[in-house]
Chain A
Amino acid sequence: MSPLILFALVLALGFVGWAAGRARATAFAQGGSAAKRPHSVKSYHGWYVALWAAVPALLFFLLWQFVSPILVTSAVLHGPAAGLLPTDPMSRAAVLSEARGLAAGEVTAAFNPLSNQMAPAFAAAARRYALMGAVITLILAFAGGAFAYLRLRPNLRARTKVERLVMAVLLVASLLAVLTTLGIVASLLFEALRFFSMVSPFEFLFGLDWSPQTALRADQAGSSGAFGAIPLFWGTIFIGAIIAMIVAIPLGLMSAIYLTQYAHPTARRWLKPALEVLAGIPTVVYGYFAALTVAPAVRDFGVALGIPSSSESALAAGLVMGIMIIPFVSSMADDSLAAVPQAMRDGSLAIGATTSETIRKVLVPAALPGVVGGVLLAVSRAIGETMIVVMAAGLAANLTANPFDSVTTVTAQIVQLLTGDQEFDSPKTLAAFALGLVLFIITFVLNVIALRVVRKYREAYE
C-alpha cells in the first residue's frame, strides 16, 4: 500500500470520526434538558473524535518511516540470505546498501552480483514491514476514533481538550526556529571540530597562505594543502566592509536624507519603492552584471591608470555589492531620522539654521547611533553575500590592498570547496564548515551589537 493512500485513508477515518462525533453531540443537544446542555459546541465533539483518530495514527506512521528501514535490515541479516554476505564490514555495508537500492527500485543495475541475490530478501522484508506498518496505523486510527467516540458525554470538556492540542502544536511550531539555530550551530561545530583535529586552529586563523588543494604527489606544485585563512578574511573585509560601504553609506544616507527631508510627498511615494527594487533583484543577477559589464570596465580603467589589474577584481564586486546594499542603509537611516523628536528639528530651524544645517548639525548627530546600527547590519549582510563575489571577485587568495587585483572571500571559498568533485572527510571539504562557522559567529556578533545599539538609541528618545 503506498504511503499516500494510507495517509488519505487515515484522513478519511478522521473525517468519519468528525461527522460521527458531531452527530452524537447534536443528539445530546436535542435530547437533553437545559441542565444537561453539552459543555462544548457540537463541532468540538467532532474535532475531538477526529483528532483522536488521526493524530496517534499519523504519529505512528511517521515514526514507522524511520524505524522500518532498521527493522528491514535486521530481518535480512537474521534471514537465510545473510550467509552470503562477505565478512569484511566495508564491502558488507556496500552490498547491503546496493541491495536496498535495488529492492526499492532506486538503482536499476547492481555493481556487485551479490546484491542481486540479496535484493529479493530485502524486497520481501520491506513489503512485510510496510504491510505491518499500514495495518497498525489503520488499527490505531480506528481504535483512537472509537475510544474518543465512546467517551463523548454531554459534560465532556471537548473544547478544552481540543484547544490544549492546538496550543501544543503552536508551541512546537515556534520551537522549530530554535531547532534550526541549534541545527546550524551543531552541524557547523561538529564538522569544524573534525577539521581542527586535522589542521590546527592557530594555523587556520592566523596563517597567511591559502591553497586548499591537497597534493596527490609530493612534487606537485601549488597544491600544498595550506589552510591559512587570513587572505580570505582580508578579502571579505576589503570587499564587504570597505569598498561596498564606501559606495553604500554616502549614497544610502544621502538618499534617505533627500527622501525624508526634501522630497515632495508624491515624489517620495514613487522614489522609495523604486529604490527598494534594488534590494529585490536576485544576487545572481548582480553577480552576472558585475562579471559581464562592471569587471571589464574596471579592468580597462585600472590598465589606463597603469595599475596592475585582473579581469576579476575586488573593486567590481565591491561596487556592485555596495549598490545592492543602498536600499538597506537608506531604510535604516530613514527609520532613525524619523525617530529623532520633531522638537529638536523645530528648535534648530527656529533659531535660523537652514535645512541642511539642521540635518548636518542636529538630525544626523542625533540619529547617529541608529545609522551606525544600520551600517553594522549592512556590513553583516555584505560579508555573507555569496553570488556576487563568486562570479566577480575571483578565487585567487591574494593578500593585497590593490582594488584592481583579484581577491577571494570566505563565502566564495565555501562554494568553491563544496562544489565539484568532493570526497567527504578530507580537510578540503571540512574547511568549508570551519569557514562557515567563522562567518556565522561574525555575522551573529555584528547583528547582536547592531540590534543592541539600535534599541538603546530608541529608548533614549522615548
Chain B
Amino acid sequence: MSRPSTQWDSEAMQARLRKRYASERRFKLAGLAAIVGSLGFLVFLLGTMTWNGAGGFMETRVKVAIDFPRSDLFIDPGSLKGSAANQALAGADIEGMVAAAARDQYGPAGADFISEAAWLRVREEIGRDPTLLQRRADFWLPAASGLEGRLEFGRLKDTGVIQRGFNGRFLTSSDATDPAAVGIWGAFKGSLITMLVTLVIAFPMGVLSALYLEEYAPRNRWTSLIEVSINNLAAVPSIIFGLLGLAVFLNFMNMPRSAPIVGGLTLALMTMPVIVIAGRNALKAVPPSVRDAALGVGASPVQVVFHHVLPLALPGILTGTIIGMARALGETAPLLMIGMRAFIAAPPSGISDPATVLPVQIFLWSDEVSRGFVEKTSAAILVLLAFLMAMNGLAIFLRNKFERRW
C-alpha cells in the first residue's frame, strides 16, 4: 500500500498544502460572504424604504388664488363667530368654490390638479381668519397625487405655481381615502394605547410569574406543566393568538371589535412569556450569596425577594420587557384577526374606541391601488422603524448602564 509522501519539501506535499490553504481561504471567504450578503440585504431593504419613503414626508402644493367676494360662496361673516361657526362652514359649498377657482386659473382640468381634500384646508383657513371672505387670497393647496405625471406639470412648474415642502400633516392627521391627505397620527396613537394596555397587563403578570417560578416554585409536576406552557407559548405563531382573541374576547366575552383593549389583551398574552423568560434569566443572574446573606440576617423569603433580589434583577427584566414590547409593536397578524383593520379616520380617544395600529395601517396602505400610497406606506414604515429603533436603543442603554457582573 502506497502512502502519500509526507516529506515536507517534496513537490506532492507542497501541492497538497497549497490546496488545503486555498480551501481554507475559500471557506473563510464564504463565511465573510454570508455575513456581507445578509447585511447587504439589510442595507438594501432600509435603503429602498428610505428612498421611497422620503417623498412621503414631502408634499407638492399648487398655488390657487381665490377671490372670495366674487365667488359664488355665501357665508354670513356674522355667523362665523362663536359656536355656530362650524355649522355655517359645513353648510357652505367650499368644495365647489375651490374647484371653480382652480378651473378659472388652470383651464377645465384645473380642478383635477389639486387634491380631493384640498378644500378642507381652505375651510380651516376661513375658520381661523373670517376676514379672508372679504378679499382675494392665495392658497398653497396640496396637489393631486398624480399631478407630477401629467402633461401640464412642466408648464405649471415653469410659471412658479408649484412648491414642494415638508408635509407636517403626515405626522398629525389620520387615515383618508386620498393619499395626499393621509397621516399616521391616528395609527400612532392607536399603537400607543394598545401598547399601554399590553404593558399594564403583561409586565406585572410576567414579573410575578417569573418570581414564582424562579424563587419559590417547588420542583414538581405542576411547576413543570407551567414551565412547559410558558416555553411553548413563546414559540406559538402570533396568528394563533389572534384566533384566541377572536374566539375568547370578541365572540365569548362580547368585547368591542377593533378596540385597543382587545388588541392590547391579545398582545399581552403573546408578550407575557417573553417577559417571563427574560425575567427568569435576570433573576438567575443574581448570585445566591445575596439571598443567603438576606436570609442570614433574618429576612423572610418574601422579604429576600422583594427587598433584595428583585431590585438587583430589575434592569435585566426591564430590558427583556422593552424587547418584548418592541416585538408586540411590530405585530400585525393577530390584530387583523380581531378586526383592527377597519378604515378609521379619527384618532381613538380611549381603550374601547375603534382604532388601528401602525403596522396594520402599513398593511392597509400597501393594499391601496393608488400610486401615491407607495411613498406614504414607506414613510409610515420609516416612522415605525424609527420608533422600534428608539425602543431597542433604550434597552441597550439600560443594559449597558445597569448590567452588573458578579
Contacts and interface: CB of A to CB of B under 8 A. Distances in A.
A443 B235 contact: yes
Interface residues of B, number: 83
B236 A274 contact: no
Contacts of B232: 181, 444, 447-448
Interface in B229-256: 229-233, 235-241, 243-244, 246-248, 251-252
Given A163-B302, A258-B35, A436 B362 contact: no
Given A171-B212, A283-B332, A386 B238 contact: yes
Contacts of B336: 415, 418-419
A112 interface: no
A377 B235 contact: yes
Nearest to B23: A356
A385 interface: yes
B206 to A, nearest CB: 8
Given A171-B212, A384-B239, A282 B332 contact: yes
B281 interface: no
Contacts of B204: 173
Contacts of B39: 271, 274-275
| Interface of B, helix, strand, loop or mixed by DSSP | helix
B134 interface: no
B233 A177 contact: yes
Interface string B39-61: 10110010011001000000000
Contact of B34 (A174, A254, A381): A254
Nearest to A353: B20
A65 B382 CA distance: 42
A105 to B, nearest CB: 12
Interface string B211-243: 111001100000001100111110111111101
Contacts of B329: 282
Contacts of B52: 292
Interface string B357-385: 00110110010000000100110010011
Given A170-B211, A262-B31, A282-B384, A288 B366 contact: yes
B330 A282 contact: yes
B186 interface: no
B395 to A, nearest CB: 10
Nearest to A448: B232
A323 interface: yes
Given A380-B235, A384-B238, A385-B237, A258 B32 contact: yes
Contact of A271 (B35, B231, B251): B35
Interface of B: 20-21, 23-24, 27-28, 30-35, 37-39, 41-42, 45, 48-49, 52, 204-205, 208-209, 211-213, 216-217, 225-226, 229-233, 235-241, 243-244, 246-248, 251-252, 269, 272-273, 276, 300-302, 306, 326-327, 329-333, 336-337, 339, 341, 359-360, 362-363, 366, 374, 377-378, 381, 384-385, 388, 392
Given A184-B241, A277-B42, A384-B236, 13 more contacts: A176-B272, A177-B209, A177-B233, A184-B244, A282-B330, A283-B331, A284-B366, A288-B381, A326-B38, A356-B28, A357-B20, A384-B240, A443-B236
